[in-house]
Amino acid sequence: MKKLLLMVGLSILALQAQEFNAPMQTYMQALSLEAKNTDSTFNGFDAKRGETLFQSKHMGKKGVEISCTTCHTINLKNNGQNVNTNKSILPLAPSVNTGRLSDVKEVEKWLRRNFNDVLNREGTAREKGDVLSYIITQ
C-alpha cells in the first residue's frame, strides 16, 4: 500500500514538473557550455541559486533598490507590474502561462533587459541558467 501511494505521489509530481521545449533546451545547453568555459568548477544550474538571485535586492540602473520580484512579485503565478511603466506583466510561471520560456529570442531579450535593470549589467551564463531553472519550476 505504501509503495502504491509513493508511486501515485511521484506520478503527480512528474505531471506537475515543467520542462523546457527543444529550442530552450538547446539554449540551456549553450548557457551551460559558456558557464563551464568561464568557470571550470561549474557543475550545472541550480534552481535554488536562481531563486536567491531572483529575490535578491540590488541598486538598479535608476539608483533605486530593486529585485526581480519588484515587478514579477514573489509568487510567479501572479500578474506583476512594471514599476517604471506601470504596465501589467502576465505571470512568469510557465505552469500558469504556457507561453513563458517558450521562445529563445524573447527569453534572451528579457534576460538582457531585466539583468541590466536590476544588476546594471548583463547576467552571466550561470546566472541566466540558474534563474531560468528556477522559473521553469514555478
- Strand 88-89 versus strand 80-81 pairing type: antiparallel
How much is the pLDDT for 53?
A: 98
pTM greater than the 0.75 cutoff? yes
For residue range 65-106, list pLDDT tens digits in order: 999 999 999 999 999 999 989 999 999 999 999 999 999 999
Query: In the chain, what are the domain boundaries?
Result: 19-136
Buried b / exposed e along 53-79 (16+ C-beta atoms within 10 A)? bbeeebebeeeeebbbbbbbbeebeee
Q: Candidates 3.40.50.970, 3.40.50.1000, 1.10.10.10, 1.10.760.10; correct CATH number of 19-136?
A: 1.10.760.10
